[in-house]
Structure 1
Amino acid sequence: MISNTAIVDGITMRWEETGEGMPVILIHGIPTSPALWRHVAPQITRGRCLAWEMVGYGASIPEGRDRDISIGRQADYLVSWLKHLGIEQAIFVGHDLGGGVAQIAAVRNPGLCRGLFLTNAIGYDSWPIPSVKAMRMAGPLLRHLPNSAFKQVIRTFLQRGHANSARAEEALEAHWPHYREHDGAAAFVRQANSLNVQDTLAVAGDLPRLGIPARVVWGTADQFQKIEYGERFAQDLSTPLQRIEGGKHFTPEDHPGMIADGINQLVADVTATEIIADTRNDKDVASSL
């Protein structure tokens, strides 16, 4: 993937990009970065993948200082970035917090989101999870942890969310350097303090009315985002739930092939929907002549 940056509304925004075709926007969560999709994006054969970095996360941690980095505000940042790139329609793919960003952006901007893919995403009242709440409460002390100690906190968090211990260590090496280089524990505390469940509760009632192709793929053994929430998303989005038996939270890292397959299928669904709509429009024009 190719790394890119652009100044959007005074913010340096970063993303990783590969492929061609319909834009597929990949949105990560906490404590990750666009590298979450490193094994998924190369397997997406049907679209132009853009793995966007949330403001205040990853290499963009410095951009989050003294800015609102709540999930609701991230949706605004995402839309501004898409407008900057001239992208008028896209498929949104979200994991963890990124799933919340995708939902909010889709509800607030009808017509922008052509398809929605959620995997072990936040939503409704499913978050912040207890461990993040505990770290938020301990923020005044946690923010002063030396990097050597805080790295172990992140390692434990990732290990709990991965079904594959080797992938958990790989994930640590992918995501930890951003904390090490930018504020350490203080950056995580800033991220945790920004979380407000009202952001997703405000759009929950609108999900059934989106009326767009959707896919929900969920690790059944996720301790952070329970399978019951995946079932609720599937019902509200009128799509079958694809279960990853024994899968935990970080599905894009543990099960990249299954995630990529689901995204490719969603792109195909969206494309088929557009072809049907174009055909109907052609018939309507012909009948009026």
Structure 2
Amino acid sequence: MMFMSRYGGGRLLRAFALASAVVLGVGAIAFAVRAGPVPAVAQAAFVSDRLSVEVVGSGPDVILIPGFASSREVWRAEAERLKSTRRVHLAQLAGFAGEPWAHGDGPFVQPMADELARYIREQGLVRPIVVGHSMGGMTAVLLAQQHPDLVGRVMSVDSLPFFSALFGPQVTAETARPFADQAAAGILAADEAGFRAGQVQGAPGLARDAATRAAMVEWSMRSDRRAMAAAIREVMTTDLRPGLGAMTTPVWAVYAADAEGGAPAAMADALWGREYAGLPGVRLIRVDGSRHFIMADQPARFAELMDQLLAEPF
């Protein structure tokens, strides 16, 4: 716990969401329109051993990616709001919130990005807007870095291009590796009761909204521990900052500030400004009065930002 507390502990860790709740809980270290008509009803658009996607609505395409150990239900309210004018693709990452996992302790983030790219190609989507929360935001940025031709615009929701930067500006992927291994081992070693207790304890630091707190605990409990361990190990040692300077996809980085249990505004501004400094044209947007789950804690403000993102021309 010393490594986390030295750099702000729980306050900073709310920036990468459920990942921090897991680490704390187990006692480790802590838009273009697709041509042709589209259906307005839900469909199972895509199912694989890495990813499944539910589709609702019709119109220009928007892909919503949940974060670490989260369900696609974290986006349900926003998808329902948008479905009259947008075709919304609700992704669910394998291994999380009851979705099957068949890959042991193998790589997690890169294969998910690869599968999202395959989904966009196979479904014939034309440069959709991609919105990701937490680890989903990192995945969205990775997707845009590697496949700029496939992504129209990215919104990264309370997510940094290098998670372990939360521990200080001098930390690198290599120096974070021992702590990533420790976090993964802690996830795997915790018994059921201790794991649940940790999730309950960590939830208030991640959301003001009581229903979201309860839901995130259940999503974590239904997640495959091997998937969680693989994901946290990779997330803590993946640094996307070297690729920011060459990105051509517009990125909106939305982040939370909350003086009462979250990150103070000045701290959040400094962290997000520093970590996204290498991304030309990035739009940094702070949402006050929110913890990590911005869409739940400040739904009206988040909806306003989504509408602005969707309305802006390419």
Matched to 1:75, the amino acid is A
2:207 maps to 1:170: no
Task: Tell me how far 1:13 sits from its aligned partner.
Answer: 2.7
Q: Indicate how the Cα distance of structure 1 residues 74 and 244 shifts in structure 2: closer, same or farther if over 3 A, else same.
A: same
Aligned partner of 1:59 in structure 2 is: 98
TM-score by length of 1: 0.75
Deviation track 1:20-44 (CA, whole Å, cap 9, x = no partner) reads: 1111111121132212212222222
Aligned partner of 1:154 in structure 2 is: 199
Q: Aligned to 2:302, which of 227, 235, 259?
A: 259
Q: Aligned to 2:269, which of 207, 212, 227?
A: 227
For the residues of structure 1 that align with 2:183 and 2:152, how far apart are their CA atoms?
Answer: 40
Within a 5 Å distance, the mapping from 1:195-234 to structure 2 comes to 195-207=235-247, 210=248, 212-221=249-258, 222-223=262-263, 226-231=268-273, 233=276
Contact 1:5 1:13 in 2 (8 A): no
For the residues of structure 1 that align with 2:299 and 2:178, how far apart are their CA atoms?
Answer: 29
Within a 5 Å distance, the mapping from 1:1-289 to structure 2 comes to 2=42, 4=44, 6-8=46-48, 11=49, 13-44=51-82, 46-65=85-104, 67-69=106-108, 71-123=109-161, 125-127=162-164, 136-137=181-182, 139-162=184-207, 164=208, 167=209, 169-183=210-224, 185-207=225-247, 210=248, 212-221=249-258, 222-223=262-263, 226-231=268-273, 233=276, 236-238=279-281, 240-270=283-313, 273=314
Aligned partner of 1:284 in structure 2 is: none
Deviation track 1:50-82 (CA, whole Å, cap 9, x = no partner) reads: 12122332333424435420x233211211122
Alignment length, in residue pairs? 259
Deviation track 1:124-170 (CA, whole Å, cap 9, x = no partner) reads: x343756x9868515445423232221121222321112x2xx2x42
Deviation track 1:58-110 (CA, whole Å, cap 9, x = no partner) reads: 333424435420x2332112111222322232001122111111111112112
Q: Indicate how the Cα distance of structure 1 residues 67 and 60 shifts in structure 2: closer, same or farther if over 3 A, else same.
A: farther
Instruction: Give the 3-state SS of the residue equivalent to 2:98 in structure 1.
Output: helix
For the residues of structure 2 that align with 1:90 and 1:77, how far apart are their CA atoms?
Answer: 15
For the residues of structure 2 that align with 1:96 and 1:159, how far apart are their CA atoms?
Answer: 16
CA RMSD of aligned residues (A): 3.2
Contact 2:127 2:149 in 1 (8 A): yes
For the residues of structure 2 that align with 1:154 and 1:58, how far apart are their CA atoms?
Answer: 14
Contact 1:61 1:187 in 2 (8 A): no
Instruction: Give the 3-state SS of the residue equivalent to 2:133 in structure 1.
Output: strand
Q: Indicate how the Cα distance of structure 1 residues 32 and 139 shifts in structure 2: closer, same or farther if over 3 A, else same.
A: same
User: Is there any run of 5+ residues in structure 1 with no aligned partner, and where?
Assistant: 274-289
Instruction: Give the 3-state SS of the residue equivalent to 2:44 in structure 1.
Output: strand
Q: Indicate how the Cα distance of structure 1 residues 47 and 133 shifts in structure 2: closer, same or farther if over 3 A, else same.
A: farther
Q: Percent identity?
A: 20
Q: Indicate how the Cα distance of structure 1 residues 172 and 223 shifts in structure 2: closer, same or farther if over 3 A, else same.
A: same
Greater Cα radius of gyration, structure 1 or 2: 1
Instruction: Give the 3-state SS of the residue equivalent to 1:60 in structure 2.
Output: coil
Matched to 1:261, the amino acid is E
For the residues of structure 2 that align with 1:248 and 1:133, how far apart are their CA atoms?
Answer: 28
Task: Tell me how far 1:214 sits from its aligned partner.
Answer: 4.1
For the residues of structure 2 that align with 1:156 and 1:129, how far apart are their CA atoms?
Answer: 20
Instruction: Give the 3-state SS of the residue equivalent to 2:70 in structure 1.
Output: coil
TM-score by length of 2: 0.70
User: Is there any run of 5+ residues in structure 2 with no aligned partner, and where?
Assistant: 1-40, 168-176
